[in-house]
Amino acid sequence: MKKVVVIGGGIIGSVVASALSEAGAKVYLLEAKYFTYGSTGRSTGSITSQQRHPQLVERAIETKKLIPELKKKYEELGVPFAQRFLDDESPHIAIAFNEKDYEDLKKLAEIWSQGGAKVEEAEPSKVKELVPWIDENSFYKAFITPNDYKLMPHPFTWANIAAARILGAETYTYEPVVKIDVKDKVLVETESGKKFEGDVAVIAAGAKSLELLKMLNEKLNIDVKSYYAAGMVTEPFKYEMRPTIRVFKHSYRFTQTVRKEYVATIDNMGFENPEYSTEDSYEFLVKASTITVKLMPPMAYVNILRSWGAYCDYTEDGLPIVGWSPKYEGKIYYIFGFNDYGLSVGPSVARRAAKEIADGVKDPALEPYRPSRK
């Protein structure tokens, strides 16, 4: 029985852990803090085909198909959160404020079509049908992907973890990894002194993966940088807003969760680290609020209850890093660098990656993401 140590308890780690457990591997899932602590738990829950590469569009479409399959599988296993993904259909509306935005979005929209997504160009009046309180004079046009989706990342991640545990995985929280030794087996040691031995270790730690790369003394050709992101959540209202609004030039996303609060994120604030001051939190609140109120003036009266920061790992070519380590082939597997689309693309990629690890057969769909690429 193959033993696999999965490092990282977010959306990627949880899907890898559950898929590997399904395949009969013995999984040890190690999370440095609590499950969903990283960028997974700080996202809007968007599952969208609005990606920057056609193959990522395909992966996002596959992720959406996976959701009902996983729900059914988990219900049969007796996972309680299977009922509570708090998910819904969610047409994603990419807003162009002016003609320049429109030209940029048009190029992206072609990529979405290439990847197999349904795309509609829309006048403001059409957007107003979907979001009645939008100010149709505040923007130029929009591109809509009507078949997109949304959910809440916490119950989805918990469901994957619960399934993994029912299938025999051991999971640990508040166990940051401090040492990884690769010999015949892989020995992973945590801060508290616990030791885990596996045939394989999977690095699925999002932005923290960069620290683990250093621990392994591995340098990849692809540059990966961790950028600061931020989000905020409002008081709850009656659930009225299915669509998700995006403003690409500001990395902005906005929707109402099925838990009824509105949530807005800026997935890249443009700097790597916040300073020790409240200025960066304030800058985010101004940016997200201004875009929201400009598009939907009644939102001016809605109260922000909580805001937060996050780190997202961005790769220089915008594609994730998925595959065996060039230095430790067959022993260390990397699956991180999901930019701002971890929830959309992650589950599809993670299940395929788990299959690669379990079967030893390379999946051609994952070829563009190999760690050895230049």
Partner 1 sequence: MRGEIDMSEETHRFQHPAIVCRCMDVTQEEMIQTFNAMVKFLGSYDADTYRRMSGAVTGFCQGRGCLQHLQRILAGKLREIGVQVDPNKLLPKRRPPLQPVPMGLFYDPEAVEL
**Where does this chain bind partner 1 (CB under 8 A)?**
34-37, 41, 79-81, 97, 154, 158, 161-162, 165-166, 171-174, 234-236, 249-250, 259, 278, 281, 285-294, 299-308
Q: Which residues of 167-203 are buried (b: 16+ CB within 10 A; e: fewer)?
A: bebebeeebebeebebeeebbbebeeeeebebbbbbb
CB of 97 to partner 1, least distance (A): 5
- Is residue 310 a contact partner of residue 231, using CB atoms and an 8 Å limit? yes
Q: Which is nearer to partner 1, 61 or 82 (CB)?
A: 82
Q: For 57, phi and psi rounded to 5 degrees?
A: -60, -45
CB of 112 to partner 1, least distance (A): 23
* Secondary structure of residue 351 in the 3-state scheme: helix
Furthest CA-CA distance within the chain: 65
Q: Which is nearer to partner 1, 81 or 228 (CB)?
A: 81
Q: Which residues of 107-145 are buried (b: 16+ CB within 10 A; e: fewer)?
A: ebbebbeebebebeebebeebeebbeebeeeebebbbbb
- Is residue 145 a contact partner of residue 133, using CB atoms and an 8 Å limit? no
Query: Which conformational region is residue 271 in: left (phi greater than 0), alpha (psi within -120 to 50 degrees), or beta?
Result: beta
CB of 98 to partner 1, least distance (A): 8
CB of 125 to partner 1, least distance (A): 20
User: Could you tell me the two tokens for 68?
Assistant: 């009902």
Query: Which conformational region is residue 73 in: left (phi greater than 0), alpha (psi within -120 to 50 degrees), or beta?
Result: alpha
As a whole number of angstroms, the distance between CA 223 and CA 213 comes to 12
CB of 44 to partner 1, least distance (A): 15
Q: Which is nearer to partner 1, 93 or 349 (CB)?
A: 93
Q: Which is nearer to partner 1, 286 or 359 (CB)?
A: 286
CB of 11 to partner 1, least distance (A): 15
Q: Which is nearer to partner 1, 147 or 268 (CB)?
A: 268
Q: Which is nearer to partner 1, 294 or 327 (CB)?
A: 294
**Angle subtended by helix axes 153-166 and 54-77, to nearest 10:** 60
Q: Which is nearer to partner 1, 126 or 259 (CB)?
A: 259
- Give the Å distances, CA to CA, from 16 to 114, 139, 250, 259, 372: 28, 41, 31, 27, 21
As a whole number of angstroms, the distance between CA 343 and CA 265 comes to 14
CB of 228 to partner 1, least distance (A): 15
CB of 121 to partner 1, least distance (A): 20
CB of 176 to partner 1, least distance (A): 14
